[in-house]
Chain A
Amino acid sequence: MSNRKPSWATKRDTTSTRQHHAKGKRLVTHEHNEVIGTDCPSPKQSLRSRSNLTVGFEPSANLAITPHHSTDPPSVRDSPPTGSAERWRKLLYIQQDYPDNYVDASFLENLQKNVNFQSYDYFAVIRESTVITDHISSVVIFVAVFIQLYHRHLDPHILVMVGTVLTFLGVAVWEWRLANDSTAPVGEDEVREKHPADDRTSHPSSQEGAPPLRQSFMRLAIVFFLTLLGLSPILHTLTEDTSSDTIWAMSTCLIVTNILFHDYSSDPTHTIAFPGSIALNAAIFACVLLASRLSSNLHVFAFMSFALGWFALFPIFRRHLKRRLPKAHLTQTGLLVGTAFALFWPITRTLAILYILGVFCLTFLCPIWLIWIQRYKNEIHGPWDEARPKVRRYPSLY
């Protein structure tokens, strides 16, 4: 035993301990329980008594702590001496007269359940669900536009014009909001995400960045569309030799990927994250594949220019709109759903109706489901959780 007792611990009266250890080297279960039961609750009792704690931890119900060994395992260390009234402490650096597998009444005291629980409001969830409706509708519109182009029911000139008008409309709304906005620094984030290459406008110090932004945007747009026009013959023939079945299958997969990986979060700090770029890349890839099925270079140009604006710029605009003008955003969602339905109605009525039903489910039934399923929420938190470091970020303080 000399190894077990460090010299600084011998200040305590440990003679009774020694005597006890000397005679009771046996490892007997019942003795262990009885002995502990004299001055402190036995492990099993302590566990039972926990169920009326505020935490609401019920071992038998939730965690199946009911012993799955048919008999209680024996205590591993020798039983504590009867006379010692020293309470067990949750410390490692002292030698305590309790067995190593001792379960104190304070066991799992720091367990917290559902700390971050917030019950959802039905209408709030409906409002949030519009983000998903928006994106799915925009994908449906995209598919419908392609089918119309493919069957030559849609004139590419009209598409180019509509696309251009919409883009300028979007930019106008954007600028108008930026100019009227007092919280400009937040808006700067979005400027950056729109033009990642343009350092001048994204720099936080250039507060009066609206006119340069407009100029650079115009320049960028013109260069971009000219390039696209030049590239459209190449895009047209790029995957021409691939069979149509492959193209349909692959673009379906890619569009599904786009829907799955789209960045639905409306928090501007996460917009340049990895998942967003996966979605965008998948969509562009699908566009390139689909473009080879169109009949002329003009069709390809119209389709590609529309698709780029639709998948690259439109989500940013939607996010912006949702944060700044929630009511306009709701209107926009309604418009999108209507357009998608109207465009698909002439193609197949079944799908159009299915789409409307899907949107109905997503908007009105899924929130009910989500709120109902919340009752099964069971989050466990405790001291073992990885802490989240809180760091202040002010780069130019020193």
Chain B
Amino acid sequence: MDSLNICLVSDFFYPNTGGVETHQYSLSQCLIRRGHKVVLITHAYGERTGIRYLSDGLKVYYVPCLVIYNQATLPTVVANFPIFRQIFIREEIQVVHGHGSLSPFCHEAIFHARTMGLKTCLTDHSLFGFADTGSILTNKLLKFTLSDIDHVICVSHTSKENTVLRAALNPLIVSTIPNAIVGRNLRPDPTAADPNCITIVVACRLVYRKGIDLLVATIPRICQRYPEVKFIIGGDGPRRIDLEQMRETHVLQDRVELLGAVKASDIRKVLVRGNIFLNTSLTEAFGIGMVEAACCGLLVVTTKVGGVPEVLPEYMINFAAPEEDDLVQGISRAIDTFKTRDQHPELNPMALHQTVKQMYSWMDVAIRTERVYRSISALESPPLIERLRRYYGCGLWAGKLFCILAAVDYLLYLFLEWWWPRSGIERAPTFDYTRYAEVRFIRWNRLAREFYQTYGPTYKDF
């Protein structure tokens, strides 16, 4: 099958860290390995501007633009069109794939790509309600972008239902493709955990949405009930102060360890120190943290919210309602299960690891995403009048506004075509992925051999 030229766009990418960033990176790595050309566009991060190459020849454009809040760029509607057009033409892009419904950059890229007649899809990583002002505005924006899009990808079935409602979509153009983990990086390490106590690990950003209030209320009760339990809390955020206060009020300094921000690469080191993983989120589209923890051989206790029940089989998880009392019971159940773990061979860390590792893999995600790309490549691009009709249906006022925007964007496109014609734009040479892989393979083998010779056969599984 012929390869595709794919462009991933989002505001959120490395050096920023988070689920969206990892998703894009891993997805693009696997797509490259499957023989596609992948380019990534994000906004400039401080000193990091211009074009960078990441491993496997992943080309990243760091476009300079104004960042206003939480790494999201200023929504300008048309200002970034020239540079997007330049990149799309230079790289001969066929499919534009945006990530994160909170990224104005990705919305703009999809909008312009549609004007240019390219195929577009969007992956939505988050859940939104319908009641508060912020959600209403975001939903309107999402409706604008998704009115004219070829396909939408959601990370869980709940997320799909949510997105279909938010943007009034035909559910048939929405696919569910979960996140994944790199199983080989998340091996359990039975020696890392303290054998004298039961360690409960929490790893998340310390913000309200992650249910820090519940955590603050639950920890003292668990510590009082089980003297052998310790807590390790990784992550940073505005609610950290609440945890510190709780720790001081209840004199739990030696039993509750606050690690602060944990690097994505160090997450395994934190997880393997624990026996039970606790997730207190109030809303969660997927809950990659739980999957990672289960892959490291931990039992999982979680609040039953959002897409969480879809993610792991029930025997691995202790569900609790997002209430203090129920959560205490859930943790108690998990502690009791942990104490009798020998009677449950399926809950052995290695067994958990093997099972979870096979459930999620990035290659699987890439194959399923590629299937989406292929299906939308076969679709016809709608004419301008059809696009306007779709935007018009967005609402009484919004519909007309969106139509004006689409028309202006189209005129701008015509102007750009005249001012800087396609023929005048140089095509970027394609990175030789095969050669890169070969060189890397040779170097890797040599390194491995040297390593083996130096350290002997102790590191056999290296």
Contacts and interface: CB of A to CB of B under 8 A. Distances in A.
Given A111-B161, A386-B282, A388-B322, A100 B305 contact: no
A20 B172 CA distance: 22
Nearest to B386: A70
Given A73-B375, A108-B161, A384-B306, A92 B282 contact: no
B283 interface: yes
Interface stretch (B16-24, B61-69, B352-360): B352-360
A63 B367 CA distance: 31
Interface stretch (B43-51, B175-183, B186-194): B175-183
Interface string B94-127: 0000000000000000000000000000000001
Nearest to A46: B171
Interface string A249-260: 000000000000
A260 to B, nearest CB: 16
Interface string B29-43: 000000000000000
Contacts of B318: none
B311 A73 contact: no
B25 interface: no
A74 interface: yes
B305 A383 contact: yes
Interface string B296-326: 0000000101110011110000000111110
B169 interface: yes
Nearest to A116: B131
A4 B161 CA distance: 25
A384 B361 contact: no
A355 B173 CA distance: 56
A11 interface: no
Contact of A92 (B157, B224, B250): B157
A103 B174 CA distance: 9
Contacts, number: 167
Interface string A34-76: 0000000001100100000000000000011111111011111
A4 B378 CA distance: 23
Q: Which of A27, A72, A74, A381 has the most CB of B within 10 A?
A: A74
A91 B368 contact: no
Contact of A7 (B283, B321, B358): B358
Interface in A94-135: 94, 99-101, 103, 107-108, 110-111
Contact of B368 (A74, A100, A386): A100
Interface of A: 3-4, 6-9, 27, 43-44, 47, 63-70, 72-77, 90-94, 99-101, 103, 107-108, 110-111, 379-392, 398
17 contacts: A6-B358, A8-B355, A63-B165, A64-B393, A65-B171, A69-B170, A73-B379, A74-B378, A76-B151, A93-B312, A384-B158, A385-B283, A386-B282, A389-B213, A390-B323, A391-B213, A391-B214
